[in-house]
Structure 1
C-alpha cells in the first residue's frame, strides 16, 4: 500500500522494514548453497567480503539521506540526480524488476517445501506448483488492491515472527547438533587447505550474498516518511548489522552438523533439512512454518516496495502517467498490476528452468547490480565534484564511496556475463515506458549519450536471446 504523505515512521519501524525486506527466501538456502560451493573458511571469507562491501553501501545510503534530503525513493532518485533521466529510469526499472524476480523465488521455495510432502510440487516449478503459486500471486494482488492498513507496522510484526524460528534453529544447533570434529573436517571446500582455489569458491557465493542483502536500502525507498532524515541511515545500519549476524551464524554453524557434501546436497530449504538432521522431522516442520511466514511477509514487503518504485518514477514524470494512478484506498493500483503481471510472467518461465530457485535468485541479484553501481557512482561523484556542496564532502565519505563503487563493480564481474546479459531481456523493453513518458510530456526522448545507452541495451538484449537460442546460456 502506498503510505500516506502524513504518516511519519520512527526509526525502529524503518529498521523493521529493512529486516523484513532482507529476511526472505535466501536465508533458508544459506547452508546448502554455501556448502555446495565452499567450506567454513570460504564461507567466513565470503561473508567478510560481502559484509564489508555491503556495509560501505549502507554508509553510502546513510550519507546520501543526509546530504541530499530532497531526493526521495533512494536508488531511483540517486541515479537520476547523478546521471540523468534515462539512467534514473533504467535504475528504477531494474530495481523494480529485481524485486519481482525475488518475489518469484518466494513461491518457488514454498513449492519446494511443500514438495517434500507432496511430490507433485517437485522443486517448486512443476505445473501444479506454478498453478498454486499463481493463485497466491493474484490473492495478494486482491489483498493489497483493497488496501493493507498499517502496512509498514504489519511488516515490522512479521519481521519479528519470521526471525523466531531461525533463532530457534541456532539455539538447537549450538546446544545439540554442533560437533567440533565435523566442523573442522568442513573447514576447507576441497577437503584440505587450498588457498589457490579459495577465491573461486568465494566467487560462487557472491550472487547469493547479494540476494540475501537485497532490501538493505528498504528504509531509503520510504525515506520521505521518516520522522527525521537521519533516522533513515540509523535504521538501515541497525537492520543490516542484525541481519548480517543472523546470516553468518546460520551459515557457519551448519558446517558443524554434517559433512559438507551432505549439506550441499540437502533439499531446499536447506535450513529445514539441517534442523531435521539434528532433531528429526519436527525440525523440518518448524522451519517450514517459519519459511512460509517469512516468505509471505517478504512477498508483501517487496510487492509494496516494487509498486512504490514504479509509482514514484511515474510521479516524477519518468514513466507514463497511468502508473501514478491511485485507488480510493490510496493504493498505486496501476503499478501494482504491472508488478503482479511481471511476477506471473517470471513464474511461467520457471517451468522451463532446471533449477528454478537458483535461476531466479541469480536473475534477481543481477538485476539489482546496475542500480547499486549507479548509487555508489553517484556518491563518488558527489565527493569529487568541485561545485556540489563542498562543505559536505569529507575524506571518509570519499573513501566509502570509492570502496562501495569498487565492490559493486566486483559483484558484476563475480556474477559472470551470463546472468548479466539475461537482465537486458528485461531492461531493454522497459525503455518503451520511458519513451512513452517523454512523448506524453512533449519532451525530447533521449540526449545523445542516452541514445547510445539505449542502443547498447537493445543490442545486449538481442545477444542474450541469440545466446539462449543457441544454448550458450541456459536457465
Structure 2
C-alpha cells in the first residue's frame, strides 16, 4: 500500500457516520464557543496521540498492528489481550452504528425503515453486512483500492455542504448562538457533554498503523497518520461551526439524524437533504469497508501473535484473515439484530464505541511514555526523547480525561463485553500450555472487570442503568 492508500485508510476510517451527525450532537450540548473549546481539546489530544502512533511506527518497526501490540509489549499478555479485544469489539459496535444511521437515513424517505430499528431495516442491513463480507474475502488489496475511490467520492458532498452553508453565512445568527443561546448549563458541562462524540469521530486515526505490515515504506505510516488527521480535523470543525450561522441552536438540536441533511435543506430546499443523504450512504458504506478490514486485521494479528486463539491467524488463498472476518461479521450481525429493542441505537453505539476504544488508546499513549522515559530506541536521534516524552504525557492525560468525561456508565457497560471475552484469552493460553495469568496484576485486572460487569448487569436489570 502506498502512502496515498494508507492516508485513504485513515480518512476513510475517520469520515463515516459521525461527521454527518455533528451539527445536532453539538447543538444539543453547546454553542460555537463550547464547540471551539471542545475541538481545541480533542484536536490537541488526538494530535498528540497521532504523534505517538507516528513515533512508535518509526521506533518499533517490528511491531505490526500496533494498536494492541504496544499494550502487550509494554504491560504484558493480558493487558495486550484486553487492548486487542477492546479495539476489536469497539470497532464492531462502530460498524453497527453505520448500519443504524443508513437505515435511519432511508427512513426519512421510506417509512418502512422507521428510525432504523424495524425488521425490514434489520434485514436490509444484514444483506449489506454479508455483501461486504464476501467482497473482502476476495482480497484485501482490492478492498483497499475500492476504499481509496470511495474516500474521494464521499468527501465531495461534504465539501459541497460546506461551500453552500458558508455562502449562506449570517453573522448576526452566529453571534446569537455563540454562547449557547438559551442553554442553562455552564461552559465546562457543555464542553464535557461533547467529549465522547469527538472521540467517536476521531476513531480511525490509527488506520495506517493497523495496516503497517502492508506499507511499502515504514515511514509512510506516520506520514499517512498526520496527513489524515489534518484533513479530517479541518472538515469536522467546519461541519460543526457553520450550521450555527444558518439556524438557531435549538432548531439544529431538534433535527433528525443525519442532521447535516436538515441543515442543508434549510439553506437550499429539499434537494439538499437528498444530496446529503446520498453522500452519507456512500460515506458510511466506505467507512464500513475500511472498518471491516481493520476489525479482521486486528484479530488476525492477535491470533498470529498468540494473544488470541490460533484459528484467527488463518488466511484464505487471497491472504485474507478468513476466520477473523467470519467472526467479525457474525458479531456485527448479532448486534444489529439487538438494535430492534433499543430506544436510541445510534447514540448507544456511538458512546460504547468511544468507551471501548479509549482503553487501547490509553495503552498506546502509556507505552510511548514508557519507552521515552527509559530512553529505549533513542540511541539514534536522542534529541527527540524530550519531545516524545512531552507528546506521550499529553496523550495519556487526554485519554484519561476522555474516560472521565464519558462517564462511568459506558465503562461498566463495556465490562459486560470484556468479561466473557476473556474466554478467548483462556483458549489462547491453553493452546500454548501456559498459565492463564502471568502475574498477580492480571488477576486484579480480571477481578475488576468482572465486578464492573456484575454491577452493569445489576444496573440494567433494575433500571439503574438505562440504554
Question: Shorter-chain TM-score: what band?
Answer: over 0.9
- The question of 1:416 aligning with 2:401 is answered no
Q: 2:415 touches 2:452 (CA, 8 Å); kept in 1?
A: yes
Partner of 2:280: 291
Alignment of 1:311-330 (within 5 A): 311-330=300-319
Match of 2:465 in 1: 473
Among residues 8, 26, 45, which one is paired with 1:16 in the alignment? Answer: 8
Aligned equivalent of 2:420: 429
- In 1, Cα distance between the equivalents of 2:136 and 2:214? 19
Question: Hey, what's the Cα distance between the residues in 1 that align with 2:253 and 2:415?
Answer: 31
Distance in 2 of aligned mates of 1:172 and 1:277: 11
Q: Which residue of the other structure, out of 184, 200, 204, is the alignment partner of 2:175?
A: 184
Distance, in Å, in 2 between the alignment partners of 1:423 and 1:351 is 20
1:349 deviates by: 2.3
> Counterparts of 1:305-384 in structure 2 under 5 Å?
305-384=294-373
Q: Distance in 1 between matches of 2:410 and 2:122?
A: 23
**3-state SS of 1:331 partner:** coil
**Among 207, 220, 226, the residue aligned to 1:237:** 226
Q: What TM-score, normalized by structure 1, do the two folds share?
A: 0.95
Residue equivalent to 1:118:
110
CA 386–57 in structure 1, closer or farther in 2 if over 3 Å, else same: closer
CA distance in 2, matches of 1:218, 1:13: 11
Measured after TM superposition, the shift of residue 390 of structure 1 is: 5.7
Q: What root-mean-square deviation, in Å, do the aligned CA atoms of Structure 1 and Structure 2 show?
A: 1.5
Q: Matched residues in 1 for 2:141 and 2:197: separation?
A: 33
Q: Does structure 1 residue 302 correspond to structure 2 residue 291?
A: yes
Please tell me whether residue 395 in structure 1 is matched to residue 386 in structure 2: yes
Partner of 2:23: 31
Aligned equivalent of 2:75: 83
Tell me, in whole angstroms, the C-alpha distance in 1 between the residues paired with 2:140 and 2:50: 29
Match of 1:128 in 2: 120
Q: Which moved more, 1:224-233 or 1:457-466?
A: 224-233
C-alpha distance after superposition, 1:454-475 (max 9, x if no partner): 1221221111111111111111
State the distance in 1 between where 2:287 and 2:304 align.
Answer: 25
Report the secondary structure of 2:445's partner residue: helix
- Note the 1:33-182 alignment, pairs <5 A: 33-147=25-139, 149-175=141-167, 177-182=168-173
1:185/1:191 contact within 8 Å kept: no
Instruction: Measure the CA separation in 1 of the matches of 2:367 and 2:140.
Output: 34
Name the CA distance, whole Å, in 2 between partners of 1:410 and 1:284: 36
Gaps of 5+ in 1: 1-8
Residues 13-71 of structure 1, C-alpha deviation per residue, up to 9 Å, x if partnerless? Answer: 21111001100000000001001110011111111110000000011001111111111
**CA–CA separation in structure 2 for the residues paired with 1:38 and 1:387:** 43
Matched residues in 2 for 1:348 and 1:426: separation?
Answer: 17
Structure 2 segments unaligned to the other structure (5+ residues):
none
Q: Which runs of 4+ in 1 moved over 6 A?
A: none
Relative to structure 1, is the Cα distance of residues 441 and 64 closer, same or farther in structure 2, using a 3 angstrom cutoff?
Answer: same
Distance 2:345 2:376 in 1: 48
CA contact (8 A) 1:61 1:217 kept: yes
Task: Output the CA distance in 1 between the equivalents of 2:254 and 2:465.
Answer: 24
- Matched residues in 1 for 2:420 and 2:67: separation? 20
Secondary structure of residue in 2 paired with 1:71: coil
Deviations 1:407-461 (A, max 9, x none): 0000000000001110011111111111101101111210222122112212211
Give the match for residue 3 of structure 1: none
Task: Find the partner of 1:446 among 430, 434, 437.
Answer: 437
Taking the aligned partners of 2:130 and 2:214, their CA distance within structure 1 comes to 28
1:219 is aligned, of 165, 185, 208, to: 208
Match of 1:277 in 2: 266
SS of equivalent residue, structure 2 residue 354: helix
Task: Give, in angstroms, the shift of residue 394 of structure 1.
Answer: 1.4
SS of structure 1 residue aligned to 2:186: helix
Taking the aligned partners of 1:376 and 1:26, their CA distance within structure 2 comes to: 24
Alignment match of 2:374 (pick from 360, 371, 385): 385
Q: Distance in 2 between matches of 1:117 and 1:190?
A: 32
CA contact (8 A) 2:171 2:245 kept: yes
Q: Are residues 1:261 and 2:253 paired? A: no
- In the TM superposition, residue 151 of structure 1 has moved relative to its aligned partner by 2.2
